[in-house]
Amino acid sequence: MFENKKTKKHGVHYSRYIASYMKEAARFNRPLYRDELYDWLIAIDVDEHEAMDIVEIATCGKMELETSAYLYLKKLTDNERNES
């Protein structure tokens, strides 16, 4: 697992930036692009080195919990479909 650090300047957990970006990107049906995530982090005044760390966590392979979340949500969705 990665260490969910907080940014020094804003005190926000790295995962919060990732979740916020992915949630809003989904509204526009946009995939996660490294450069766009990095540019956004810089635009909101996240330190360059911390921004690189956040992008690395978000884009290097699957985070450990993604598969678990996917399976859980798939099960819920399948159950809802079966009930209707």
pTM of the model: 0.72
In this structure, the number of other CB atoms found within 10 A of the CB of residue 37 comes to 20
Alpha helices in the chain (DSSP H): 14-27, 34-43, 48-59, 64-83
Phi and psi at 6, nearest 5°, equal -105, 145
In this structure, the number of other CB atoms found within 10 A of the CB of residue 63 comes to 16
**What is the token pair recorded at 79?**
């159950």
pLDDT digits (tens, 9 = 90+) for 3-51: 789 999 999 999 899 999 988 988 898 888 889 999 999 999 999 999 9
For residue 37, which of 65, 63, 46, 82 has the smallest C-alpha distance?
46
Q: Would you state the pLDDT for residue 63? A: 59
**What is the token pair recorded at 33?**
């692009």
Q: pLDDT band at residue 64, thresholds of 50, 70 and 90?
A: low
Q: Are 41 and 17 contacting, i.e. CB atoms less than 8 angstroms apart?
A: yes
